Amino acid sequence: MQKIECLIVGAGLIGLAMAKELAKRGYSVIVIEQEPFIGNHTSSRNSEVIHAGIYYPPNSLKAYHCVKGKELIYQYCKNFHVPYQKIGKLIIATNKKENDILYQLKQNAIKNGVDDLKLLSHSEISSIQPELNVTAALWSPSSGIVDTHALLLGFHGELEKYGGFIAFNTKVFSIEAGQNGILVHTIEGEKNFSIECDFLINSAGLWATEVALKISNFPQEYIYDTRFAKGHYCSLAANHNFKHLIYPVPVKDGLGVHLTLDLGGKAKFGPDIYWCESIDYSMNDIDRLAFIQAIKRYWPSMSGDKLQVDYSGIRPKAFYKNKPVNDFVISTPKEHGIPGLINLYGIESPGLTSCLSIADTISQIF
């Protein structure tokens, strides 16, 4: 049996950000990851967008960590040469009702501390992106894009630099949590081994609920349900003149099918939302017609035959007593009473933007 100070479940962006931060502060750290690679799921199957902090309710964890995390992640990218571009975002309205929503978003952003937004008229938008069918737009200059793979590698490299490591192909079998430490039983292939730790952080993403249910005698009222919101992405197989992120006004359960650019200038659209029962990244369940119609609302001249299915991702949505939580959940000993145990649920968008801020907050709990 091995003894360690900090054990983290999940080598995605959140898990690795916390791991490298704790290792940097002098803790002994092991990350256990069920896959053979880092960031295999939600961390690498998203829009790769650095958000400004516009949409989220004031005083929510999403608002706090997004606004703080945005600055931290831009600084990290500069310091560690992670490719990124601050290309800005246009949130667009296509009718008067949506114009009013843009104003509400701007006021919400101000409450969150985001004061660099600008409302643009139809004529102003037409001079920037004439292809779009819009009545008005909200310009966010601090939104951007980042190479998530390079970011993951940067976090992993820092973790190893400060003495931590990742145990790949390793799953949690059971967890014994007591007042004097936590014992985690794991499986690697046909091998079983146990790790005793002072602090256990469950950042298993899509599997966060599954891991929490393996904690013996853990009070069930502090376990949140994780539901799977699948999103499909399609790429544009044609030349285009887009220079910024293009987002419709938000829709229920998400931000709508938006246009993003990768660092090479390739345009992609997504995600839609499809609730599923299991982890399945195939693209055969995409509603192609609905996908195209969503894009044509703001880009009517887009040719559907130029749209190619690309990839999908799954967002972990936190629910409690069958009701959506709509915020990050960071469950600490202060709530559930188990010393050294932290469970994270529903770390979806803006999780990428928030990862370093969440890591900073968690490290201060210790």
Sheet holding 144-146, edge to edge: 49-50, 144-146, 84-85
One DSSP character per residue, 228-259 reads: EEEEEEEEE-S-----SEEEESPBTTBS-SEE
Under DSSP, the state recorded for 46 is S
Under DSSP, the state recorded for 200 is E
344: enclosing H helix or E strand:
strand 341-345
pLDDT of residue 252: 67
**What CATH architecture does domain 86-143+226-320 belong to?**
2-Layer Sandwich (3.30)
Residues of the chain with pLDDT under 50: none
* Three-state SS at 300: coil
Please choose, from the candidates 154, 135, 151, the residue with its C-alpha nearest in 3D space to the C-alpha of residue 49: 151
Query: Burial level of 3, CB count in 10 A (0-12/13-18/19+)?
Result: exposed
Q: Above pLDDT 70, what percent of the chain? A: 99
Give the pTM: 0.96
pLDDT of residue 253: 62
Q: Which two tokens stand for residue 242?
A: 């887009």
Phi, psi of 25 (to 5 degrees): -85, 5
Q: What is the pLDDT of residues 80-127, one digit of tens each?
A: 999 999 999 999 999 999 999 999 999 999 999 999 999 999 999 998
CA distance 37 to 90: 34
pLDDT of residue 334: 94
Q: What is the pLDDT of residues 3-25, one digit of tens each?
A: 999 999 999 999 999 999 999 99
Q: Pinpoint the alpha helices (H) of the chain.
A: 13-24, 61-80, 96-111, 122-128, 148-161, 208-212, 288-296, 333-336, 351-365
pLDDT of residue 190: 83
Please choose, from the candidates 58, 13, 52, the residue with its C-alpha nearest in 3D space to the C-alpha of residue 31: 13
Q: What is the pLDDT of residues 123-164, one digit of tens each?
A: 999 988 999 999 999 999 999 999 999 999 999 999 999 999
Q: Which two tokens stand for residue 211?
A: 């891991």
240-260: buried (b, 16+ CB within 10 Å) or exposed (e) per residue? eebebbbbbbeeeebbbbbbb
Give me the amino acid identity at 314.
I
User: Where do the structural domains in the chain lie, given as residue ranges?
Assistant: 2-47+149-224+322-365, 86-143+226-320
Contact status, residue 4 vs residue 29, Cβ threshold 8 Å: yes
Phi, psi of 107 (to 5 degrees): -65, -40
Q: Which two tokens stand for residue 41?
A: 């799921």
Q: Pinpoint the alpha helices (H) of 1-147.
A: 13-24, 61-80, 96-111, 122-128
Angle at 231 between CA 138 and CA 172, to 5 degrees: 120
| Fold adopted by 2-47+149-224+322-365 | FAD/NAD(P)-binding domain (3.50.50)
